[in-house]
Amino acid sequence: MRVEVKARDNSELIRKLQKMLGPEVTEVYINLRPTKEIVVRILEYAPNVQKISCPPSLYPKVSKKIIDALSQIGVQLVPEGYPRGRPKKYDEKTVKLVREMADMGVPMREISERLGIPLRTVYYMVEKQVKKQS
């Protein structure tokens, strides 16, 4: 079972770990840097844990000794990122199609009408391509 534990500071995280973890937990995600104390508590409260993950920005700050010790007992410590920001509305396939149609000389208004994409967005997609090439 996977558990996500999010807290503002280490003491709050440790309190939440005690409440949320149990023997059935195999994966733990924490949003703070895994210190020695936090790792010990995770192993104490969830003895069957196989994978501990943290944000990719904090992973380089984790002590190598902690990573080595965990790997010796068969527990992985890995960075795990969640996509941030607003999700893309149009996939790469659609953007590529718009650019190809524009390169073939199809008028922007016609591209907009055919694909059901706002005219302003069609211009934005084509402009973005031109800026990348420059």
- Segment 30-85, tens digit of pLDDT: 999 999 999 999 999 999 999 999 999 899 999 999 999 999 999 999 998 776 77
Written as six digits, the tokens of 57 are 């920005």
Percentage of the chain exceeding pLDDT 90: 81
Domain count, the chain: 2
Q: Are residues 40 and 97 in the same domain?
A: no
Quick check: 119 and 112 in contact, CB under 8 A?
yes
Kindly report the number of other CB atoms within 10 A of residue 126's CB atom: 18
Angle between the N-to-C axes of helices 36-45 and 10-20, in degrees from 0 to 180, rounded to the nearest 10: 10
For residue 45, being part of any structural domain is answered with: yes
Q: How far apart are the first and last CA of the chain?
A: 49
Same domain for 50 and 26, yes or no, is yes
Residues 75, 109, single domain; the answer is: no
> Is the residue at 132 inside a domain?
no
Range of the domain at 47: 2-79
